[in-house]
Amino acid sequence: MTVRDIVATHPRPTDVDRDLLVRCVEECIDCAAVCTGCSDGCLGEPDAGELVRCIRLCLDCADVCSATARVVLRQTEAEHAVLRPVVEACAAACRASGDECARHAGHHEHCRVCEQSCRRCEAACDALAASLG
């Protein structure tokens, strides 16, 4: 797994728990891609008009997850005063997107896949935030 490799080869590892850090980065990256795909899948549905809120929240979630993955990945001069609110904001974006996808998961497979990715990412962000003390 390449994220773990690049984290492990850092010359100045942070004091953040490495397993929690790697898991958070991996889930953010996955969730950013899945939310991009889900918003695009929603846009291509015949009932796209019913999915406007889902599209919007998935776009937000993709943007926040992408930024969070980068901030969490960086270990040089890590700053908890930035890391913590960023990870907490990401959990909030995942929660909103996951809750909305859950409403459509019975009708649209991409929403089902996306809900699961959002839930995993929210949990990974919560776990990392909790570890920051």
Q: Which residues bind a second copy (CB under 8 A)?
A: 2-3, 5-7, 9-12, 25, 29-30, 32-34, 36-38, 40-41, 43-46, 48-49, 52-53, 55-57, 59-60, 62-64, 66-67, 69-71, 73-77, 79, 81-82, 85-86, 88-89, 92-93, 95-96, 108-110, 112-114, 117
Residue number, 3 or 127, with CB nearest to a second copy? 3
Do 42 and 54 meet the contact criterion of CB atoms below 8 Å apart? yes
Residue number, 5 or 15, with CB nearest to a second copy? 5
Shortest CB 130 distance to a second copy, Å: 16
Shortest CB 38 distance to a second copy, Å: 6
Do 28 and 20 meet the contact criterion of CB atoms below 8 Å apart? no
Residue number, 71 or 127, with CB nearest to a second copy? 71
Do 104 and 85 meet the contact criterion of CB atoms below 8 Å apart? no
CA distances from 38 to 21, 22, 23, 74, 107 (A): 25, 24, 22, 28, 13
> 3-class SS at 18?
helix
Shortest CB 106 distance to a second copy, Å: 13
Residues with Cβ within 8 Å of 132's Cβ and at least 6 positions away in sequence, in order, are 16, 80, 83, 84, 87
Residue number, 86 or 127, with CB nearest to a second copy? 86
